[in-house]
Amino acid sequence: MINKFDSVLLAQKKFIYHYKNMRWAKGRHETYLCFVVKRRVGPNSLSFDFGHLRNRSGCHVELLFLRLLEAGALCPGLWGYGAPDSVGLCYSVTWFCSWSPCSDCSYRLAQFLSQTPNLRLRIYVSRLYFCDPEDSSAREGLRMLQRAGVQITVMNYEDYFYCWQTFVACRQRVFKAWDGLHQNSVQLARKLNDILQPGEAEDWRDAFELLGL
């Protein structure tokens, strides 16, 4: 069974504007979050919910999503009650975010996940939020999420194509990659790997220095 949480799909121009993985994303002050929630009870029962959210009234979109979870609007029975089949209930949640979470949202997410072992979260991001300084709190927040079991990945062409087909009012129009999508995705993926695996990145830099590269 598939249920659409938000009946209004994203406009094509809005999706491209907010999800374009440019290096300097000036003016993109909002964060959009497209989500898929998979609910499983036993081996033969699976349902889906999907939709999108954005920042509202000064509240970051990640925290808005948590409020929906806490209210039981998206994952009934997550806390072990509120649904007749809550025993053995598991949820898999996937986010496609225009920005990676800030440090505060990462901390709140990690706290929430520590209380909900029957929920798994995977986050795909279009761009990295305030991660240029090596000692930034946003970088540590992403590492905190990784330690909490969250899979964090930079979006590539296939992910944009999936979002276009699932969350955008595309009217059968095929998704067309913008200039630099692949190159920017590769660069951001390398940067994310440096953040999540800092020791490994330092080893590579040392090896390049020894080779004079």
Our answer to whether residue 140 is catalytic in this structure is no
Amino acid at 111: Q
Marked catalytic residue, from 30, 62, 70, 209: 62
> Cβ distance 142 to 106 under 8 Å?
yes
Largest CA distance in the chain: 64
Token pair recorded at residue 35: 């989500």
> Cβ distance 159 to 181 under 8 Å?
no
**Token pair 């830099």 in the structure block, residue:** 205
Of 136, 148, 114, 110, whose CA–CA distance to 198 is shortest?
Answer: 136
Sheet containing strand 89-99, strands side by side = 2-4, 46-54, 32-41, 89-99, 119-127, 151-154
CA pseudo-torsion sign 121, 125, 129, 135: positive
Which residues are catalytic, by number? 62
